[in-house]
Amino acid sequence: MQVSSSERGLVRLFAVDLPGDEIENFRSAKINSDGELAEWPLDDALGFSFLDEDFIELFDVIDLEDLGLTGYMVEGLGIAQKDVDEDAARLAAQKGWILVVLSAAFGGVAQTLTPKAPLRWIGTYKEDGAPVHFELLPDASAKGPGPGPTGGETPPALSSNPHMTLLLALVALPFVALVLGVLLFWIL
């Protein structure tokens, strides 16, 4: 399976053919004493070169209760209903553990996935994006200067923005420490 560096909005679905008591070991990466990845069964099974764990899900279908896998795909993952309907019988038949891998999990890193047991590829689906509508801009907003000294609202003062205040304080802190250090050096 090819993952391009520009891939967006795809959802890869895999069945995980393992008993429930082996899932935690499959999901967890083991780090050695040097802080490096020693073993990760999920990596071995999916064959990725980069994966952000924040954009994968591993769950038992039974946890979806009344929603079911097809409902979760539409309501939870944003897959178009028509795409799910095409595979509805196969998706409804899925039992056990499911691995969901979103495009964002690859962090824009082009790579080739080489899934193998215990993973079994179910399908790749596209998130249903909102349709784009283009409308003409009203004439009044397209003419003349924008907000500022010649009209409209003025931007808020720098001191009213807590983020800018914090940024200025962080930038000024090293200078204050330097001045205090020099003063203490001359006093002592």
Instruction: Compute the half-sphere exposure of residue 2: CA atoms within 13 Å on the CB side of its CA.
Output: 3
pLDDT digit string, tens, across residues 155-172? 555 556 666 677 777 777
pLDDT of residue 105: 93
Return the closest-CA partner of residue 3 out of 74, 41, 51. Answer: 51
Q: Say if CB 16 and CB 98 are below 8 A apart.
A: yes
Q: Does the structure show a pLDDT above 70 at 37? A: no
Helix, strand, coil tally for the chain in percent (to 5): 40, 20, 40
Q: Does the structure show a pLDDT above 70 at 141? A: no
pLDDT of residue 183: 84
Q: Which residues pair with 153 in a beta bridge?
A: none
pLDDT digit string, tens, across residues 44-73? 899 988 889 899 999 999 999 888 999 999
The 3-class SS string of 117-158 reads CCEEEEEEEEECCCCCCCCCCCHHHHCCCCCECCECCCCCCH
All structural domains of the chain with their residue ranges: 2-126, 157-188
Of the pLDDT bands very low, low, confident and very high (cuts 50, 70, 90), residue 102 is very high
